[in-house]
Chain A
């Protein structure tokens, strides 16, 4: 008796079906990338901004009468580098927007947006969210975007974490923020989270120093935040601002806390080897070199060198540079140490 034939779809096809259907189930409506015309993007007026520069400033130029003129000019200059990269290579990291009527509002990527305007682009790659994210998600998104930028100062990072914590407490009720909680919330290591918790609870004098960007290192700030005594803390802060390393700060704090009177601040020496020679600098006025050399070779003891400097074209920088070097060599040769 022949076996009854059984048929079925192949395993690979089965798997293909499962993957495809699940992809839609898990992601539909959530992940969208579009290329958006720059004129359709606007800043979200409800988001506090770090920059003062506005799109209109880039398109029409910064008004001379603008009260923020100087600051805007600095910000504009700082964006040039990014604008150059965008001109040459395009934008690698899409900005994040949400649809607001006919326009798109920026969630993250202000610098990229403004730099694209400077680079004269027509459009920009954007990840489009379906709706404005709730405040907590918004802060988290901006945090994640920002931690990839190296130039974020301690002040800015603390500011961001504070806002995230505020939103979290709004949603989840007042509670103590532990390092573990912070670690889970913003995705950093436990030691880092401990530092942030310490700095978030910093006494006001330290907070002031951070806000003024005098103290910019997270580990040092965390160390200082834990110093209970105001006097010792003041000492340590001054040392920190003067450039002490973490190790030096620790030993300063330890010895102060151990009661040893140590009123002198460790003055941080300038780095580098002890100077062993004179640096000769530059000038863009070769006539000065001409004066020096011609004056010296007029002196009787150096007159025999004069002929070497007769044929120099004193207007050619390279000739004058070579001449000056030779001049110094000659003098060195004739001078005892």
Chain B
């Protein structure tokens, strides 16, 4: 089972967008059984596929909706409130994935407050309480048998949540805008990748698929920065040969009630769709064929 995580501790570079594209591509086009996990307290990834709710009692942010399979009158659901989020792994509880409008895609949504609590756990407890929890979940027989690939969306942070994801992942992608500060964010992510790589045994490496130039504009700044990265001998092989341009339609499909709902339902000759297909094909090729 492959576990792919887009990461970058700079916000707004397109992690969630990439998570969405990969989740949709793998389930719609490749027809693989996909599990999407939202590890970002902002819960944008969850909101894309589920109708997340706002709990007035916990103003921190979104909580998952009531699960469609929840039956408050049944015996087995009697001590469950009907909501399940991936953050429940930090409270030693099981997680029930939610179905989505896509047949092959399930989501384990985030829970703003619980994820933020996990982010704030004290240093000396964090390894046991947080770092190892996602690995444990994804190594369980249930998950391994039910899914071919897991996509984990992460927060713009290098805190315990992101570290959890890095410890659990088999592959990471670093989307970035080709500007000074996001590129500095790449460096931070590479550090995390390096530290985790050195801890892994040879049989289970953490593969860096590469850096994805995102929201790319054909201005000198972006072109020069990209070329500058490609000229660095060490990192050149990690700069992906595909990119996503700055296109309105990428954001438009996320809007409520948008038609079509996904990039992949656009006509074949649509540039945005072609770009998305190229990027997803490249990443999938690296993940499944390397």
The interface of chain A, by Cβ under 8 A from chain B, is 4-9, 13-14, 16-18, 20-25, 27-29, 31-32, 99, 128, 130
Contacts and interface: CB of A to CB of B under 8 A. Distances in A.
B197 interface: yes
B229 interface: yes
A201 to B, nearest CB: 41
A21 B238 contact: yes
Interface string B171-208: 00000000010011011001101100111111001001
B234 A18 contact: yes
A28 B205 contact: yes
Interface in B30-46: none
Overall SS of chain B's interface? helix
Contact of B190 (A4, A6, A17): A17
A14 B220 contact: no
A28 B200 contact: yes
Given A4-B220, A13-B187, A29-B202, A24 B193 contact: yes
Contacts of A17: 186-187, 190, 229, 232, 234-235
Contacts, number: 75
Given A9-B183, A18-B234, A29-B205, A23 B198 contact: yes
A7 B234 contact: no
24 contacts: A5-B220, A7-B221, A7-B225, A8-B224, A8-B225, A8-B227, A9-B183, A9-B228, A9-B229, A9-B232, A14-B228, A14-B232, A16-B187, A17-B187, A18-B233, A20-B191, A24-B193, A24-B194, A28-B202, A29-B202, A29-B205, A32-B199, A32-B201, A130-B201
Contacts of A130: 201-202
B198 A31 contact: yes
Nearest to A16: B187
Contact of A24 (B183, B187, B197, B221): B197
Nearest to A10: B180
Contacts of A21: 190, 234-235, 238
A31 B197 CA distance: 10
Which 6 A-B pairs give the minimum distances between C-beta atoms?
Answer: A29-B202, A7-B224, A8-B228, A21-B234, A18-B234, A17-B235
Contacts of B187: 13, 16-17, 20
Contacts of B184: 13
**A21, A22, A128 — which one has the most chain B CB atoms within 10 A of its CB?**
A21
A221 to B, nearest CB: 43
B220 A7 contact: yes
A226 B96 CA distance: 79
